[in-house]
Structure 1
């Protein structure tokens, strides 16, 4: 089932079901068949068909022939507006990508998950399996841990109260051990995901804060283990933390120095 909604199928209301269908419709692999949408969302085909008809009438979906449906113009417009809202962040993200040579992500929190909003990749022979709109757990990713490191204690408790899934053999699932690692990361200014979310991938992340110190999101650099070595953490970590501070300044509306784009 799509991770956009965490409730079980039986507990979802009409709005939650509709949002899940929309999220799946906008996901990779489209245009989507009605049957595939119904299966992915764990909903009856007649229910999904009625939703799609309503979405189509409102411009959020369009028929793509042979029983397939695609994203409609109004949904594309919303997506474009959302991307435009992150445009001020791109110079900082681009500079971080240039200075590190690694893939850069910016993510925001959604419940117990982080949602990628921006992704910038270097020219290389491989690409990481991530995309804007994709969701990842907070407890085992660099962006997620960066967000956790600055959340109020009660909110951290709520996230860690649920059993934590092990994504790899290195994933920390013990709340006490994770708290200890977050405390160390908070003092360093950045967090590390050393193959805890995906084997052969390392990431370094730092929190982005508002003027009052509340966490808005997180920025990270990611690379395969043979390109992002632990010996580089001491250099890359402060660069990520610096970018996070600059993103915080941008989002707070404070003056930002010109980015050297060389």
Structure 2
């Protein structure tokens, strides 16, 4: 049962739980859905949901489905970390997509997952498990491994010591094997993932560095397994990553700072 039914919870934390009951795979929810996904009593969920509707944070359609309201979307566009990155990266992402006609995505670290803040996708590209705003696991996605490899060592060890979910038969869940892969990623700035998160999907990812040398994001190309030689995409991907990094103020003389990125 979600923690929303615990006694002593503040109203603001319960409102937060209601809002985060929505995700890219659940953009429309009934009141019963909200109750089930938050663990709140029906009466409490209804009262708080209607209060959110009143201030515009949620919208309620004629079929009684709740959705996120436009004011929250407007507020989200003010997030400086994501919006500056998206704006800076956009021309590079577009050029990379034009060159490869594959999924191109940009992600940042949030908590113990990678969150996708930008993506361009071809109409016939391989189906992915997440959308813009969706989360990806750190141990088996391309962007996740880049972010994990450059994060605080205490944090990365905590992830490796935890439960590493196996999504496919290729998912690496051995901490020692992952440590070697993360070390290689720190050394080269790139990582290749072969059907670890989704059957039939391969990806290659690289780091995005700011003016202080901190890795602030990861850029990846995702392709259908066997359709493209991933190594052929690496030069274009790395060039785009360096271009975004330069636009953020990084220069070749600035060393990459490992462990400076906090979740």
Q: Which consecutive residues of structure 1, in runs of 5 or more, have no partner in the other structure?
A: 2-6, 255-262
Q: Please list the CA deviations of residues 8-48 of structure 1 after superposition, one character each: whole Å capped at 9, or x if unmatched.
A: 55669444443232133464454321111221233322222
**Given the superposition, is the C-alpha separation of residues 89 and 11 from structure 1 closer, same or farther in structure 2, using an over 3 Å criterion?**
farther
The corresponding residue for 1:32 is 29
- Give the distance between the partners of 1:116 and 1:165, measured in 2 at CA: 19
Q: Please list the CA deviations of residues 111-148 of structure 1 after superposition, one character each: whole Å capped at 9, or x if unmatched.
A: 21000101101232654342111111101100000111
The corresponding residue for 1:258 is none
The corresponding residue for 1:259 is none
Give the CA deviation at 1:49: 1.4
- Give the distance between the partners of 2:125 and 2:172, measured in 1 at CA: 30
The corresponding residue for 1:243 is 240
What is the TM-score of this pair, normalised by structure 1? Answer: 0.83
Greater mean deviation of Cα atoms: 35-44 or 165-174 = 35-44
What is the TM-score of this pair, normalised by structure 2? Answer: 0.83
Q: Which consecutive residues of structure 2, in runs of 5 or more, have no partner in the other structure?
A: 252-263
Question: 1:161-172 alignment to 2 at 5 Å?
Answer: 161-172=161-172
- Give the distance between the partners of 2:41 and 2:249, measured in 1 at CA: 45
RMSD (CA atoms): 2.5
Q: How many residues align?
A: 246
Greater mean deviation of Cα atoms: 184-193 or 165-174 = 184-193
Determine helix, strand or coil for the equivalent of 1:32: coil
**Given the superposition, is the C-alpha separation of residues 253 and 77 from structure 1 closer, same or farther in structure 2, using an over 3 Å criterion?**
farther
The corresponding residue for 1:260 is none
The corresponding residue for 2:202 is 202
Give the CA deviation at 1:163: 2.1
